Amino acid sequence: MKRMLLKIAYDGTAYYGWQRQNNFITVQQRLEESLSRLLGQEISVRGSSRTDTGVHALGQGAVFKADFTIPEDRFPYALNSFLPEDIVCRGARLVDEEFHPQYSVVKKTYKYSILNDRYRNPLLDRYCEFVPKELDTDKMSQCCKYFLGEHDFKAFCASGSTAKTTNRTIYDLTVEKNQNIIDIEVTGNGFLYNMVRIIAGTLVDVGLGKIPVSDVEKIIAWGDRTKAGKTLPPRGLALMNIVYDFMQKKG
């Protein structure tokens, strides 16, 4: 039996998130169906991130076990001929038995994109949240430093989360503006339920002047969800990349 790790990109607009569900179409289900047809056997995959309804991905990870002869470098092309248009396999590599789709994750990068303009732009609507009031990106950038390192991110976790601990480590958080598009990019060892969308919502409140820059440190320390910003909609969020431990060992 071989074990293969796939790099999967998707436009999440049409899906009820990654994780298989009973009555709704999800990305995992479509991927499993396509793999099963390609390989002529029942395939189930395990993903590295449970992206929510409507969230996009460029670098989701998914692993499966099966017997097959298609070589790594041809595998994405073979699989893509079975996948729907809005799901694309962008990489495949064999991994050993120690690999685990969640525990082998070293860090993940998400991007939240905002269109900050007077009017909506129909060519960006699927992938950007629209904020018509002017955002002060200098202020947004200034509070990024408070998020870095290990913190209890309870204030940035939606209720209903089943996480054992709300401690997470953030390695990098940046705010970049190109023309009218503001990209918030965050890299961490893991993220709580809705955490990136609440961080983005908090940074938007800072950019609007609703939350002073200096309050952000306290909002993290207090651990009170009601003090942080709102959860922004899924359309602006994309899982960009995942680094696994075997990639680092190689270096």
Nearest to its own copies of 56, 154 (CB atom): 56
Distance in angstroms (rounded) separating the CA atoms of residues 216 and 228: 8
152 is catalytic: no
Task: Establish if 176 lies at the interface with its own copies (CB under 8 A).
Answer: no
Burial of 97 (0-12, 13-18, 19+ CB in 10 A): exposed
Distance in Å, CB of 76 to its own copies, minimum:
6
Distance in Å, CB of 8 to its own copies, minimum:
10
Contact track, its own copies, 221-250, x by CB under 8 A = -----------------x------------
- Residue 54 falls in which region: left (phi positive, over 0), alpha (psi -120 to 50) or beta: left
Contact track, its own copies, 55-94, x by CB under 8 A = -x-x-----------------x---x----xxxxxxx---
Distance in Å, CB of 188 to its own copies, minimum:
22
Distance of CA 35 to the CA centre of its chain: 23
Stretch that binds its own copies, among 125-133, 145-153, 207-215, 220-228 (CB under 8 A): 125-133
Nearest to its own copies of 73, 224 (CB atom): 73
CB 239 within 8 Å of CB 58: yes
Q: What is the DSSP string of 69-125?
A: ---GGGHHHHHHTTS-TTEEEEEEEE--TT--TTTTEEEEEEEEEEE-SSS--TTTT
Nearest Cα residue to 112 out of 183, 205, 174, 206: 183
Stretch that binds its own copies, among 8-16, 33-41, 93-101, 144-152 (CB under 8 A): 8-16
Distance in Å, CB of 11 to its own copies, minimum:
4
Binding residues for its own copies, rule CB under 8 A, total: 24
Catalytic residue among 11, 52, 138, 183: 52
Distance in angstroms (rounded) separating the CA atoms of residues 131 and 119: 9
Nearest Cα residue to 180 out of 230, 249, 119: 119
Length of the chain in terms of residues written: 251
Burial of 81 (0-12, 13-18, 19+ CB in 10 A): exposed
Distance in Å, CB of 235 to its own copies, minimum:
11
Contact track, its own copies, 94-123, x by CB under 8 A = ------------------------xxxxxx
Catalytic residue list: 52
Summarize as ranges the residues that interact with its own copies (CB under 8 A): 9-11, 56, 58, 76, 80, 85-91, 118-123, 125-127, 238
